[in-house]
Amino acid sequence: MIDWPQFLKAYGLTIFTWTLLPTLLALPNYSIPAAIAGALFLLFYSYAGHVFAHSISTVFPLNYINMHVSIHHDHLITVPRWLNLIIEAIVDFLCFYVLILIQSALGIHWISTSAILGAGFLYVFIHIFDFSLFGNEQHKEHHEKTFCNYDPEFFDTLFETRCSPDTPYRDLSGESFHALCAFVIAFALKYRYKLE
Ligand SMILES: [Zn+2]
Ligand SMILES: [Zn+2]
């Protein structure tokens, strides 16, 4: 049962900024509805992609091929922690970059390139800096139990995949700052390289 007042209090600002910034990035090349749809897709993709990556990687050979599982989670391939985090940052970012490659291979332009880059930077900032370097209880639980706390937490709440569903919702307002940093870099790239 979702506690909606608490849901909005804990996640509202973050959902707003995480949707607004990629939407702004897509303008004026995309219409406002298309820009918002792209932003919401990217938001959901960061959760669903993680769920999908774990669900298909429980058996050989995908548990080895998927470096998020083989290196970052299960240490089937052991590397020093600093290298683990660098590889994981690259894997996280590539999961977004692949959307740019798919769109260009298919000749479709449904989601703004700069918005995809911004979402990739945001994912790396949160996962590597916040969760891995500074530590985060929820993410620690994800590493212990794997099939819960996929993050962003508002999707775990909506789809009932929180590891500890009886605990209060975590106030994510601080993560708006990460979005600001990630999307400022994406804005710079957009104007420097004239991305859409
Ligand atoms: Zn992790
Ligand atoms: Zn994971």
CA of 38 to the centre of ligand 1 (A): 25
CA of 182 to the centre of ligand 2 (A): 21
Quick one: tokens of 126? 């949160």
Q: Distance of alpha carbon 42 from its chain centroid, rounded?
A: 8
pLDDT, mean over the chain: 95
pLDDT at 135 over 90: no
- Range 163-171 average pLDDT: 96
Nearest ligand to the C-alpha atom of residue 53: 2
CA of 72 to the centre of ligand 1 (A): 6
Question: How far apart (Å, rounded) are the C-alpha atoms in residues 152 and 43?
Answer: 8
CA of 135 to the centre of ligand 1 (A): 10
Query: Within 13 Å, how many C-alpha atoms sit on residue 184's CB side?
Result: 7
Nearest ligand to the C-alpha atom of residue 123: 1
pLDDT at 68 over 90: yes
Question: How far apart (Å, rounded) are the C-alpha atoms in residues 28 and 88?
Answer: 33
CA of 109 to the centre of ligand 1 (A): 31
Question: How far apart (Å, rounded) are the C-alpha atoms in residues 33 and 163?
Answer: 34
What crossing angle do the helices spanning 4-26 and 113-124 adopt, rounded to 10°? 130
Question: Model confidence over 26-52: pLDDT tens digits?
Answer: 999 999 999 999 999 999 999 999 999
Q: Please give the pLDDT value at position 37.
A: 98
What crossing angle do the helices spanning 175-192 and 4-26 adopt, rounded to 10°? 10
Q: From residue 67, how far is each of 76, 90, 95, 122, 157 by CA, in Å?
A: 9, 10, 12, 20, 26
